[in-house]
Amino acid sequence: MKDALRLALMAFEEKKALDIVALDISKVASFASFFLICSGDSSRQIQAIADEVEIRLKKEGICPNHIEGYRHAEWVLLDYLDFVVHIFSKKARAFYDLERLWRDGRRMDVQRLLDGKTAVRRRAAGPRS
């Protein structure tokens, strides 16, 4: 799962996505575990980000279950079941404000995900008897 998130985030960076946020919604939603959210400056950039996410994940055999909003590119949604990619125009992102709506979700460290490091900290092993 983390590899797929990482690939999507790499696609965001490749296409110069703005205001990247990763939310763990697994404890507050039943339909997905993660949201990846970003913005683009134009409908063309929003479509390019969506295309790059789809291309990178498809190379790994991961295809979206559903895509919405691509044609108008104000808010493109790519549903990968375990995670949902949201790519917004700045105006649509401010209007829908998913970060506020899903504020009970846990913000994840995007840089750690990009670096391939898990967000889970392991406990140090205690002394052996």
Q: What is the pLDDT of residues 52-93, one digit of tens each?
A: 999 999 999 999 999 999 999 999 999 999 999 999 999 999
Contact of 9 with 108, CB cutoff 8 Å: no
Q: Domain for residue 129, yes or no? A: no
CATH number of the domain residue 15 falls in: 3.30.460.10
Q: Domain for residue 121, yes or no? A: no
Q: Domain for residue 8, yes or no? A: yes
Q: Domain for residue 124, yes or no? A: no
Q: Domain for residue 47, yes or no? A: yes
Q: Domain for residue 119, yes or no? A: no
Q: Domain for residue 88, yes or no? A: yes
Mean per-residue pLDDT for 8-37?
96
Domain carrying residue 31: 2-114
Contact of 47 with 62, CB cutoff 8 Å: no
Q: What is the DSSP string of 12-41?
A: HHHTT-EEEEEEE-TTT-SS-SEEEEEEES
Q: Domain for residue 86, yes or no? A: yes
CB atoms under 10 Å from CB of 106, counted, come to 14
Structure tokens at 81: 């079941």
